[in-house]
Amino acid sequence: MAKSNCLYAFGLGDMLFAGYKTGANSPSVFNFAFSKVLIDDINNLISSDALHLTASDLEINQDYNLTEVEAFFFEIHTPDIISENLELIRNIRKKNQTACIFIFVTHTKPYASINHYIAGADYCIKLPSDPSEKKNLLSRTLYDSHWKSPVQLYLDRTRLLLCCPARKLEISFTEMTIIDALINAPEHVLSQDSIAKTLDPNIIFYDPRALEKTISRLRTKIKKTYNLEIIFSVRSYGYRLRRGTIAG
């Protein structure tokens, strides 16, 4: 069996910043999962890309080259680790703006994804307990991600186009402004209030339903043209953009 490139790191904190350097030609994945079942499920999905290491393989006094890591998997198995987990994600994003960061929640208590998205996560999924449903959700999430399904679109602000080499989508000035704001937002996440202010800096009151309809129409146009979801809702907050998909 060919070796794969996955790092099993069970400790958080200093463990993230020590011990593993990727090669220039080897795709790498860091897996911060706690439960063996989830580790195995993730491993089965990425086995063709990953080199498996245990925590004992790490050399604590060396630094990671985080810029070469392509994906990070985090398991939130208890609410107690969320604060530390958020800090790790912020540290990752300081060095790597392209990696795909997955958050998988396996505890049964309520969970709000807002802070993880603001910190820089790309997918925050609460996993079901049913093994079959969980595997299907993991598979869909992984293969719909920008890591496994990269797409490059270009925003033409002058001609009001969202385009790829094969086709062009005409968009309105308002739609262009929304996409541009999401591109330039920290971690590509914006609240509804921030989007409204971007569209009209002098606005005091706005209709959230009207904004939701505008973004919904834009999402539908993009889906119809490119068969791609690039704008996602962040519950009770606003919207985020699919990382690494739109340039310009």
Which region among 38-52, 115-129, 227-241 has the lowest average model confidence (pLDDT)?
38-52
Please report which confidence band the pLDDT of residue 30 belongs to, taking 50, 70 and 90 as the band edges.
Answer: confident
Instruction: Determine the 3-state secondary structure of 81 from DSSP.
Output: helix
pLDDT in tens, 141-169: 999 999 999 999 999 999 999 999 999 99
Share of the chain above pLDDT 70, in %: 82
Please report which confidence band the pLDDT of residue 63 belongs to, taking 50, 70 and 90 as the band edges.
Answer: low
Structure confidence at residue 57 (pLDDT): 39
Contacts of 181 (CB under 8 A, 6+ apart): 190, 194, 195, 198
Structure confidence at residue 56 (pLDDT): 36
- Mean pLDDT calculated for residue range 179-192: 96
More confident residue, 198 or 65: 198
Share of the chain above pLDDT 90, in %: 56
Rounded to whole angstroms, how far apart are CA atoms 24 and 219? Answer: 36
Q: How many CB atoms lie within 10 A of CB 77?
A: 15
Mean pLDDT of the chain: 83
Rounded to whole angstroms, how far apart are CA atoms 232 and 177? Answer: 16
Structure confidence at residue 160 (pLDDT): 97
Please report which confidence band the pLDDT of residue 205 belongs to, taking 50, 70 and 90 as the band edges.
Answer: confident
Residue 142 to residues 12, 94, 117, 123, 127: CA-CA distances in angstroms?
Answer: 23, 23, 17, 9, 13
Q: What domains are defined for the chain? A: 6-144 (3.40.50.2300), 153-247 (1.10.10.10)
Element (H, E) at 212: helix 208-226
- Mean pLDDT calculated for residue range 90-119: 93
More confident residue, 75 or 63: 75
Contacts of 194 (CB under 8 A, 6+ apart): 181, 185, 238
Element (H, E) at 56: none
Tokens of 181: 């704001």
Residue 178 exposure: Cα atoms within 13 Å on the Cβ side: 27
Where are the extended beta strands (E) located within 47-205?
Answer: 71-76, 100-105, 123-126, 153-156, 161-164, 167-170, 189-191
Residue 42: pLDDT over 70: yes
Tokens of 4: 């794969």
Contact yes or no for 106/35 (Cβ under 8 A):
yes
Rounded to whole angstroms, how far apart are CA atoms 122 and 183? Answer: 14
**Among all chains, which residue has been given the structure tokens 């919904």?**
216
- Mean pLDDT calculated for residue range 107-126: 94
